[in-house]
Amino acid sequence: MANVLIVNGSLGGSTGNTAELLALAEERLQGEVEVSHLELCREPTLDRMLAAIEKADGFLFGSGTYWDSWGSPMQRFLEMTAHTEGQSIWVGKPACAIVTCHAVGGKGVLTRLLGVMNVYGVLLPPFAGFSYTYVADTALPHASDHLKNELWTADDTDVVCHNLLEAMRGGRNWKQWPTNEGRYGEKWLYAYSAKYGLSPDAGSTVP
Ligand SMILES: Cc1cc2nc3c(=O)[nH]c(=O)nc-3n(C[C@H](O)[C@H](O)[C@H](O)COP(=O)(O)O)c2cc1C
C-alpha cells in the first residue's frame, strides 16, 4: 500500500488548530493509503525525518501562520533537510499543504511552502493546498453563496486529499473547489455610502 507522510510544522502540534484539518485529511486518506506522521514540534531526529521521507510516496504538509511565516518546527525541518534537495527521496512525489491562521498571511505561507517543496523536487497537483482562517470559520455560517465560494472551507480538505491521491496514482481526474467563475467586480463595500445615507446605486464620489 502506498504511504502518505503528514508533516505537521505547527507550534500547536497534535493539539493545535492545524491538527484539526490534518485529522480530517487523515480520515479521508485512510483505507486508500497508509498514513505516517512527522510531528515536528516534538523535534524528531534527522534520521527519523529521512526514514519517513524515504518511505513516503506522497506528502501532506501543515502549519499555522506565525508573524506571516510557517512555524519554527517547519523552519527547523527545512534547515535540517536542505541538503536532500533534489534527491530521489523527494523527486516526483506529489505534495499538498494546509495552512491555518487567524486572519492574514496564511495564503502567503501556503504559496511559499509549496514553492520550497517544489524546489526540493516534489510534484504539485492542481489545487494542492488551501489556507483556512479563523475569520472564515466565523463568517461562513453567515456568508452568502457568493462569499462562501470565495472562502476556503474545511470541506476543501477533501479536494486536496483527492488530488494528492490522484497524482500518486498517476491519474488526471482532478477535483476542484467551488468558485464564482464568471462573476467579477461585485460591489460589496458601502462604508462611505452608509456614512452619508446614500443609496447603494448613488456611487461614492466625494461631492
Ligand atoms: C506567535 C503567533 C503569531 C501569529 N501570527 C499570525 C499572523 O501573522 N497572522 C494570522 O492570521 N494569525 C497569526 N497567528 C494565529 C495562528 O496562525 C493560528 O492560531 C493558527 O491556527 C495556529 O496554528 P496551530 O494551532 O496549529 O499552531 C499567530 C499565532 C501565534 C501564536
Sheet holding 129-133, edge to edge: 34-39, 3-8, 58-63, 95-101, 129-133
pLDDT at residue 102 in the model: 98
Q: Is 17 near ligand 1, meaning CB less than 6 Å away?
A: yes
pLDDT at 198 over 80: yes
Contact 45, 80 (CB under 8 A): no
pLDDT at residue 34 in the model: 98
- Residue ranges per structural domain of the chain: 3-195
Q: Give the model confidence (pLDDT) of 94-146 as tens digits.
A: 999 999 999 999 999 999 999 999 999 999 999 999 999 999 999 999 998 88
Q: Give the model confidence (pLDDT) of 18-59 as tens digits.
A: 999 999 999 999 999 999 999 999 999 999 999 999 999 999
- Please tell me the distance from the alpha carbon of residue 99 to that of residue 109, in angstroms, as a whole number: 7
Q: Is 68 near ligand 1, meaning CB less than 6 Å away?
A: yes
Q: What is the DSSP string of 5-56?
A: EEEE--SSGGGSHHHHHHHHHHHHHBTTBEEEEEEGGG---HHHHHHHHHH-
Of the two residues 123 and 188, the one the predictor is more confident about is 123
Q: Which atom of ligand 1 is nearest to the CA of 133?
A: 11
pLDDT at residue 182 in the model: 74
Q: Is 14 near ligand 1, meaning CB less than 6 Å away?
A: no
Q: Does domain 3-195 have CATH number 3.20.20.140?
A: no
Q: Could you give the 3-state DSSP secondary structure of residue 134?
A: helix
Cα of 21 from ligand 1 centre, angstroms: 15
| CA 120 distance to own-chain centroid | 18
pLDDT at residue 62 in the model: 98
Average confidence score pLDDT of the chain: 95
Q: Which atom of ligand 1 is nearest to the CA of 102?
A: 11
pLDDT at 8 over 90: yes
163 φψ region: left (φ > 0), alpha (ψ -120 to 50), beta (else) = alpha
Q: Is 103 near ligand 1, meaning CB less than 6 Å away?
A: yes
Q: Is 10 near ligand 1, meaning CB less than 6 Å away?
A: yes
pTM for this prediction? 0.95
Closest C-alpha to ligand 1, atom 31: 66
pLDDT at residue 206 in the model: 66
Q: Is 66 near ligand 1, meaning CB less than 6 Å away?
A: yes
Grid cell 504559496 is found at: 111
pLDDT at residue 207 in the model: 59
